[in-house]
Amino acid sequence: MVRTLVIAAGGGGDAITAAMVGRKLGEIEVAAIMSYSWDRLMLDPAPGPRNVADFVGIVELASGVYEISAESGLRSGGRPTLPALAGLLPYRFLLLDPLAGAVGLSVQISSAARLFRADEVLLVDVGGDIIAVGTEASLRTPLADSLVLAAAVRSGLPLRLLVAGVGLDGELTEGELAARLADLGATPRFTFAAKDFDSVRPLFEWHPSEANGLLAAAADGVRGKVETRQGHTTVTLTDAAPIVHEVDSAAVCANSLAAHLAETATLEAVEEVIRSYRGSSEIDFERGRLAEVAARPAPGDALPVIDRYSDRARGARIDYLTLRRVAEIAEAMDPISGQRLRTLLAEARPAQYRPPLYRTG
């Protein structure tokens, strides 16, 4: 078997699927899993990815290589994904710290591969936004994926790129995804089954990642139309949703925003590049969302609000809402109120509460 350093492209949620990919691929031995600590504001109420200094209980294994364990935590509180994963799975989890841009990340990747004697790097993305050219109108969150792709290519290590749950992030249209996959000569590698997510199923009781939650639901056999974040996007779960494709990482990088990030040496420089092409970065978006959440009054009785919204959604032929969308509707967007909402739904609406989804009828 090939010793492989597995990297989650998109942060907290993608680390869940990256671990499942590592377990599913029989030809590799997972040396370690690297990931940003970049969680939704519902879990970690601070915009952008976290760095080494934000953590307690993190261990430096070598220069620039930091391990997160089940005992690790954020100095400011919150509920990051990586320590929870470390407590559930028999893998070593390493932090991707993006403060030094693609230059710094490439050094971290190289050092980790050397320390863990990895023969190759396997980059895992969920949803498919990593294969975007960068000009697509609906592309919302290119920074994390583009940055780690640029860094992995820059490292010069043998690199493979797998994309799971194509379209589940709702960032590119079906036509854009189909054309890009064809241009890149994408190859289906395997299809997730329900049993593949059994070991991480407890995470979806509290984790708000939509694309990864939808992938797990699709693997479970759930089919139908799902409304996601802010009500602007719907995703349809089909038989194609659990399929994992392999694409040419070099070809993706050469014709994407990643090509413009290779020489960045600070996170600020990365944001400047993204803004120059997209107008703003996803960190800008999170800064704005944090201000909105802070300005909201405390939520009142959520059930009538959720019931009315679910009725309207069902009338619009929407089968499910993501639990993140339900939290938005109920204005329960901080970690404490979000958990209270889930407890309420589990007790008062058990037939509809199906983490990571909520049935509209």
Q: What are phi and psi of 38, to 5 degrees?
A: -140, 95
What digits encode the pLDDT tens for the residues 244-291?
999 999 999 999 999 999 999 999 999 999 999 999 999 999 898 776
Distance, CA of 354 to CA of 323 (rounded, Å): 9
Q: Are residues 212 and 122 in the same domain?
A: no
pLDDT of residue 298: 47
Q: Find where tokens 């600070």 sit.
A: 266
Distance, CA of 350 to CA of 324 (rounded, Å): 17
What digits encode the pLDDT tens for the residues 219-235?
999 999 999 988 889 99
**Averaged confidence pLDDT in the chain:** 94
CATH number of the domain that 110 lies in?
3.40.50
How confident is the model over 193-221, as a mean pLDDT? 92
How confident is the model over 288-309, as a mean pLDDT? 75
Domain span at residue 81?
A: 2-192+242-270
Number of domains into which the chain is organized = 2
- Asked if residue 332 is part of any domain, the answer here is yes
Q: Are residues 24 and 138 in the same domain?
A: yes
pLDDT of residue 299: 52
How confident is the model over 116-135, as a mean pLDDT? 98
pLDDT at 300 exceeding the cut of 70: no
282-295 and 143-155 helices, crossing angle to 10°? 150
Q: Are residues 111 and 233 in the same domain?
A: no
Q: Are residues 256 and 164 in the same domain?
A: yes
pLDDT of residue 292: 67
Q: Which tokens sit at 251?
A: 């070809």
Q: Are residues 327 and 353 in the same domain?
A: yes
- Asked if residue 278 is part of any domain, the answer here is no
219 in Cβ contact with 193 (< 8 Å): yes
| CA dist 70 → 74, 85, 199 (Å) | 12, 7, 16
How confident is the model over 337-358, as a mean pLDDT? 94
pLDDT of residue 230: 83
39: left (phi over 0), alpha (psi -120 to 50) or beta: beta
Q: Are residues 139 and 82 in the same domain?
A: yes
Q: Are residues 15 and 128 in the same domain?
A: yes
Question: Of 181-195, 281-295, 311-325, which range is least confident?
Answer: 281-295
pLDDT at 319 exceeding the cut of 90: yes
Question: Of 71-75, 134-138, 337-341, which range is least confident?
Answer: 337-341
43 Cβ neighbours under 8 A, 6+ residues apart: 12, 78, 79, 80, 81, 206, 207, 208, 335
How confident is the model over 147-173, as a mean pLDDT? 97
pLDDT at 43 exceeding the cut of 80: no
- Asked if residue 145 is part of any domain, the answer here is yes
Per cent of the chain over pLDDT 70 is 97
